[in-house]
Copies of this chain bind each other. A is one copy, B any other.
Amino acid sequence: MLFERIESEGLAHYSYLIGSDKEAAVIDPRRDVQVYLDIANRHGYRIRYILETHRNEDYLVGSAELAARSGAQVWHADRQWDYQYGKATRDNQEFPLGRLMLSAMETPGHTPGSFSYVLREKESPLMVFTGDCLFAGEVGRVDLLGTDQTQALAADLFDSIFNRLLPLGDGTIVLPAHGAGSVCGSAISDRLYTTIGLERRLNPRLQYSDKAEFVKNVARDLEKPPYFAQMEVANLAGTALLPRIPDPTPLSPHDFNISMPGSVILDTRQQSFGAAHVPGSISIWLGGVSSFAGWFLPYDTPVLLVNETDDVMPVVRQLVRMGYDNIAGYLSGGILAWHKAGFDTESVNMVSVPQLCRCLDSGEEAWILDVRSEEELRESDSIPGAQNIHITQILQHTGEIPKDRRVFVFCGSGLRSMIAASLLQQRGWKNLSVVLGGFSAWASVTRPLTSKKKA
């Protein structure tokens, strides 16, 4: 038996290579498919099937690419949509893999035609690949087709989970398309492996065995990053083949400076962005690119990259998986080269929570912006006096943020605050302070301070 889970970092996307007796299937391949071919070749396995659990919306699927390179057949879920390549999977369709059998199980809900795939040894279900239907500790979202369909899809999801997946039995291993950190389910648990039994017991959504209650709980409208629309179209059409991850062009500070007009500058450093950055650049720390680039980077503008060093391949990989192919170059020598060339910079003030407390205690009149999500706010204390605008909605609500007072920006840790600060700075805000450590720091020190303030 061959089994490998391939994680696309940042996206928290899981794809799988599964096989037996030299025959393999890949489930939900990402766009840069070399990894699947390498594993298969290392073990002498031939990839026979490329199986999609649904039309993906959060990344470009590599099915067409992998088919072209491996000779495998592509099988799509969501046959209600019009794919320009591959074939439509049917419920209960079987895909033999050596002495094991993979079979399709229609599990609508996340999308109207989502599929799961069950791997059986003889008649026993060993594993089920659940796509975006069932995660560790969470279920798939059902709001992607619009408010009018949310209820119906939630009801479908209930049936899929309770009538099809759970009956596979507690012992079946559940292998979803996403892990903790995905934009596809904010409450996904960090259990790295799970089972039907564990989900039945631990997944909060599965505690509603009454269908109406389940629907009520699950049929929420969530945010949909604008880039999803782009992905949906591309995944139907079959993304342009990507022979390899593109090579970004190193640009001297001078060439970089010339390329800036008409480009968007993405800087993936953390606190050193605040220390000094190329004027006009957007901050998204490396680990956050997959989650946030889709909100703030346009597709029709070349992207310029800035990092501490010349190593920009990790960010390029994340961007390319989301279809950002127009990467115009990167700052050769990293930010130090920019400084040495004597170009001007901008900075964002940063404060630690103890410093913030001293400011507040001293009576400084400040405006506190908390860019965490509603969900996070629900689950934690809030910061007294803070205004909440979720980071993803910040550009729609700039009118609410004062320019004439010092604005302290909070998030969970200080990373998303820097995104917000960079976006506001671009738009003319000058008196911004990012709170280092964010709410996490606040929670660590607040009690004594609160009591002090009370006193």
Contact = CB atoms under 8 A, between A and B. Distances in A.
A364 interface: no
A69 interface: yes
A311 interface: yes
Count copies of this chain in the complex. Answer: 4
Interface string A438-450: 1011111100000
Contacts of A312: 41
A192 to B, nearest CB: 5
Contact of A310 (B41, B308, B310): B41
Contacts of A41: 247-248, 250, 310, 312-313
A70 B333 CA distance: 18
Interface stretch (A195-203, A211-219, A317-325, A369-377): A195-203
A119 to B, nearest CB: 10
A445 B22 contact: no
A126 B191 contact: yes
A22 B172 CA distance: 29
A121 B171 CA distance: 18
Nearest to A71: B249
Contacts of A269: 272
B171 A170 contact: yes
Interface of A: 1, 3, 22, 34, 37, 40-46, 69-71, 121, 124, 126-127, 169-173, 190-202, 243-244, 247-252, 269-272, 274-276, 308, 310-313, 332-345, 347, 350, 352-355, 413-415, 436-438, 440-445
